């Protein structure tokens, strides 16, 4: 890692590299050049080499990159070489879908608890997890340390929920409410705004038109 503030553009290409290398590895491919990666992913070969070199020199001149090694380096860089515990706040549709999503545990992300303020939802079972009142969260986190707080509340509750999670020591917020949530320096945030995504699709539909 030589890291020198890596740009957002690079960060968002990392998962794509990781997926591609996983595919390559599962196919039994042992080595790959930036030229081949370029052909397969559509990204520029210079850019690919430059991206990797943000974190260190993983290749070898005249040879290219070892698929397994490179994949593993990127896995490390992304921090997905370990397990994470998460809690969900909000037992609505989005919260439930995330709890049931099979891919997350497969990738080392485990949702350990679900919390809601709605009394009617308390006790409800979602994928083997009983919905708990938000007031039970503090004690819960003492027994089950969690790194990630997933905000799946309505818009109006999103910011206060995030603030509450941070106050309890959570250092990463994954926000699904249709509004941006602000956090202090040092706290990680990732906003997934489905409405925004749909707006962008709508924009494209009204612009992409052609043969």
Partner DNA sequence: TAGATTGTTAATCGATTAACAATC
From candidates 77, 129, 131, 146, binder to a second copy by CB under 8 A: 77
CB of 60 to a second copy, least distance (A): 25
**Could you give the CA distance from residue 153 to residue 103 in angstroms, rounded to a whole number?**
22
Q: Pattern of binders to a second copy over 115-154, x per CB under 8 A?
A: --------------------------------xx------
* Contact present, 2 and 56 (Cβ < 8 Å): yes
Distances (CA, A) of 148 to 116, 119, 168: 16, 24, 11
Q: Does 15 interact with a second copy (rule: CB under 8 A)? A: yes
29 binds DNA (CB under 7 A): no
Query: Is 209 a residue that touches a second copy (CB under 8 A)?
Result: yes
Q: Does 199 bind a second copy (CB under 8 A)?
A: yes
**Subset of residues 65 to 94 that bind DNA, contact rule: CB under 7 A:** 65
Does position 7 interact with a second copy (CB under 8 A)? The reply is no
**55 is an interface residue for a second copy by CB under 8 A:** no
State how far the Cα of 123 lies from the Cα of 129, in Å rounded to an integer: 9
Centre a 10 Å sphere on the Cβ of residue 21 and count the other Cβ atoms it contains. Answer: 23
CA-to-CA distance for 110 and 123, rounded, in angstroms?
20
Based on the shown chain and the rule CB under 7 A, indicate whether residue 44 belongs to the binding site for DNA. yes
185 vs 9, 15, 97, 151, 158, CA distance in Å? 20, 24, 30, 19, 18
Q: Are 154 and 176 in contact (CB under 8 A)?
A: no
Residues that bind a second copy (CB under 8 A): 3, 6, 11-12, 14-16, 18-19, 77-80, 84, 93-94, 96-97, 100-101, 103-104, 107, 109, 147-148, 171-172, 174, 178-180, 185-190, 192-211
């Amino acid at each position: 890692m030589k890291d020198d503030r890596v740009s957002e553009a690079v960060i968002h290409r990392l998962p794509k590299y990781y997926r591609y290398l996983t595919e390559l590895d599962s196919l039994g491919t042992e080595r790959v050049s930036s030229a081949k990666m370029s052909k397969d992913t559509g990204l520029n070969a210079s850019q690919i080499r430059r991206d990797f070199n943000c974190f260190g020199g993983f290749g070898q001149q005249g040879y290219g990159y070892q698929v397994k090694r490179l994949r593993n380096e990127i896995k490390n860089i992304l921090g997905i070489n370990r397990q994470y515990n998460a809690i969900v706040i909000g037992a609505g549709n989005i919260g439930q879908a995330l709890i049931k999503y099979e891919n997350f545990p497969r990738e080392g992300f485990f949702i350990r608890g679900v919390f809601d303020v709605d009394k009617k939802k308390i006790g409800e079972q979602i994928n083997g997890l009983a919905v708990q009142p938000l007031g039970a969260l503090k004690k819960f986190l003492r027994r089950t340390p969690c790194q990630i707080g997933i905000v799946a509340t309505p818009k109006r509750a999103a910011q206060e929920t995030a603030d509450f999670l941070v106050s309890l020591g959570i250092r990463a917020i994954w926000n699904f409410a249709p509004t941006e949530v602000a956090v202090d320096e040092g706290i990680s945030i990732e906003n997934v705004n489905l409405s925004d995504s749909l707006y962008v699709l709508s924009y494209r539909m009204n612009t992409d038109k052609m043969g």
